[in-house]
Structure 1
Amino acid sequence: MHVSLFKVPNPPPATLMLISDELEDTCPFISRCQQKRYYNLVLARTYTPPSMSCLYHTAEWLWQTLLARSQAITSYDLRKCTASGDSAWSFLCDACYFTYLSVTDFTRHLSSEEHKRREILTIKSSPHDEDEDE
């Protein structure tokens, strides 16, 4: 996770949206970052977790719900959770190292074949997967 890339052009009280099913692995780092710097966290996952996250967050969504909704509604919902002020980078895809200024461009990227290929490569090269096989 390259939170440092996001933090430089987006000082607090910026909102950081985490799209991941493995948030608990990065929980201590993100919690420290959030508490020391006062970032707002928004979570998106592919499933509803069985227990509460250790992260304090301002909103939580199922990722499929965000993708299925109309862009106008999604843009409005995401803007409600962000702080006022202009950010140089509104959305950062950590897997592809790209940044986007709009919800429309970001969701279009996340639905692209290139993003899917990079996610598959990331999953295949993850050391976490090797541990599960043993």
Structure 2
Amino acid sequence: MLGAVQQAINSGASLAGEMLVDSLVLPNIHPSLLTAISGLNHIEQHRAVGVVETWSVAACIDAADCAVKAANVILVRVHMAFGIGGKCYMVVAGDISDVNNAVSVASERAGEKGLLVYRSVIARHMKPCGVRWWRDNDNSAHQLNG
């Protein structure tokens, strides 16, 4: 099955030519990645928060997958390309040391392809920061628990 998926990706990449920004096949995706893409993960207030932004959706998904496999963090959100020029960002939360580790791992992974835009760690966000974090395509606001 994986061979067929890789063959399909290679075929698409060949057709895309110079227009291809990035591609990815993840054979063993972390379960929290799908809920983070859907925007369904939440964090407790007053946890450390880390953000990694990439130039491509594939690079961000790969970086997020590596981050949650390397550190004890909650993958809060993976925001893909909507309204941000094709870029993507991920948000993780947890204890400061775990968040630092996750952001380092994710940044290194995205940087391997030259697709890292920005990274940041907030050691302990204040409650007003959690009032409204993002709006989805249906304009529904997501808030931090608490």
| TM exceeding 0.5 | no
Q: Flag the structure with larger Rg.
A: 2
Of Structure 1 and Structure 2, the greater helix share is in 1
Of Structure 1 and Structure 2, the greater strand share is in 2
If the length of structure 2 is used for normalisation, what is the TM-score? 0.28
